[in-house]
Amino acid sequence: MNEGRRFIYLDNAATTRTNPKVVEAMLPFFTEYYGNPSSVYEFSGISKKAVTDARETIARSIGAKTQEIYFTAGGSESDNWAIKAAAEAYRQKGRHIITSKIEHHAVLHTCEQLEKQGFEVTYLDVDEDGVVKLEELKKAIRPDTILITIMFANNEIGTIQPIKEIGEIAKEHGILFHTDAVQAYGHVMIHVDEYHIDMMSASGHKINGPKGVGFLYIRTGVKIRSFIHGGAQERKRRAGTENVTGIVGFGKAAELAMENMEERARKETELRDYLIEKILAEVPYTKLNGHRTSRLPNNCNFSFRFIEGESLLIMLDMAGICGSSGSACTSGSLDPSHVLLAIGLPHEIAHGSLRLTLSEENTKEEMDYVAGEVKRIVERLRNMSPLYEDFIKKEKHNG
Ligand SMILES: *Cc1c(COP(=O)(O)O)cnc(C)c1O
């Protein structure tokens, strides 16, 4: 990126800008209070207290007890831990796990790994808005089901699941319920008791905190064993010297996120809806993916017929706009996104998708510019598309 180049960042589902207040809170723990929290002298007590304070802030933010929060190296580790350790601890009871087809790869690939070890996994379908069907969930439950893992909100299409109902179903059947709340935490209200959540994953860098730090909430009484063996950190369940700076930053980010969550959600929802309506109105043959209202406040995801999402992204980048495509091309695969296929999009339409995820720092003027650029670029790409040409000829013929 050129020095001083201005651009519009609309990829907050991938990561967020670390809040300068978070950085400020972290800094002293690099050079001044660098003690190891496990040491005995008073100096290291400062690091220890900072970790405890962050744990308390985070526990309070989801209605959990302090000792139920375990710090990890991020959302992926939390998902791996929850699922692998639950499988290990409850394998005497059964070997069946239920998840959905639209989970993050940290969940899906972990489940696939367990299948290789003899576990059976049911991948639930979702409806065209990306919502898990509760009746199908109930039907999938077997006497040997040990875990239900369903994400709180989807990272691609923003759909928020009926988590409370899923939690109730899990509880009625005495099955553990884990939710990947990486996209939801800090953006929507979460209460682990109200939603009957037994385990929950979250990550610092998705809420304007630092990268490489996350937490796993584990309800008291859940038989989860340690994930990293070694020292006695994290109540002997996750060894390794605490990432003190990261934890302090995550704690601060959580505090800030909780402080103005409603106001931020209101502002983002307004911008989101403005952009969605503008793009749907101005760009023909366009579809909004994901649920229209049960949706993360900052998520927009569109499919534009007759174009390639990758080309759109490159041209948006040239216009100074950072977005993301629905396809997984960037990760070295040409398959369209598993999420878009699961909501029933045909391959060719899933390929022409664009995710724009906002932050409270965005403005209406930026949305006007973005909508204008999207319209211009989509038109240009369509004018180069033989498929589009054929389509228009047929339309004229029929019309
Ligand atoms: C980003 C993300 C993850 C992974 O979190 P990391 O901290 O980057 O490992 C997991 N699940 C969802 C839904 C995500 O959006």
275, 288 contact by CB (below 8 A): no
For the CA of 78, the closest atom of ligand 1 is 9
Is position 111 annotated as part of the catalytic site?
Answer: no
Tell me which residue has its CA closest to atom 5 in ligand 1. Answer: 75
Determine the average pLDDT of the residues in 325-350.
81
- Whether 2 shows a pLDDT value over 80: the answer reads no
Q: Which of 199, 203, 216, 298 to mutate to test the pocket of ligand 1 (most atoms within 8 A of CB)?
A: 203
Confidence bin at 8 (pLDDT 50/70/90)? very high
Angle subtended by helix axes 261-282 and 244-259, to nearest 10: 80
157 alpha-carbon distance from chain centroid: 10
106, 79 contact by CB (below 8 A): yes
CA dihedral 299, 302, 308, 309 (to 10 degrees): 0
Instruction: Tell me the pTM.
Output: 0.96
- Whether 352 shows a pLDDT value over 80: the answer reads yes
Q: Which two tokens stand for residue 93?
A: 């009871």
Residue type, 166: I
Tell me which residue has its CA closest to atom 8 in ligand 1. Answer: 75
pLDDT value at residue 1: 43
- Burial group, residue 395, by CB count within 10 angstroms (0-12, 13-18, 19+): exposed
- Span from the CA of 382 to the centroid of ligand 1 (angstroms): 33
Neighbours of 2 (CB within 10 A): 6
Q: What is the pLDDT of residues 139-179, one digit of tens each?
A: 999 999 999 999 999 999 999 999 999 999 999 999 999 99
Q: Which two tokens stand for residue 345?
A: 């999009």
- Whether 327 shows a pLDDT value over 70: the answer reads no
Q: What is the pLDDT of residues 48-57, one digit of tens each?
A: 999 999 999 9
For the CA of 203, the closest atom of ligand 1 is 7
Q: What is the pLDDT of residues 62-97, one digit of tens each?
A: 999 999 999 999 999 999 999 999 999 999 999 999
- Whether 128 shows a pLDDT value over 90: the answer reads yes
Tell me which residue has its CA closest to atom 14 in ligand 1. Answer: 182
164, 179 contact by CB (below 8 A): no
Angle subtended by helix axes 364-383 and 309-318, to nearest 10: 130
- Whether 326 shows a pLDDT value over 80: the answer reads no
Tell me which residue has its CA closest to atom 3 in ligand 1. Answer: 75
Q: Which of 81, 102, 155 to mutate to test the pocket of ligand 1 (most atoms within 8 A of CB)?
A: 155
- Span from the CA of 75 to the centroid of ligand 1 (angstroms): 5
Q: What is the pLDDT of residues 363-387, one digit of tens each?
A: 999 999 999 999 999 999 999 999 9
Q: What is the CA radius of gyration of the chain?
A: 22
- Whether 334 shows a pLDDT value over 80: the answer reads no
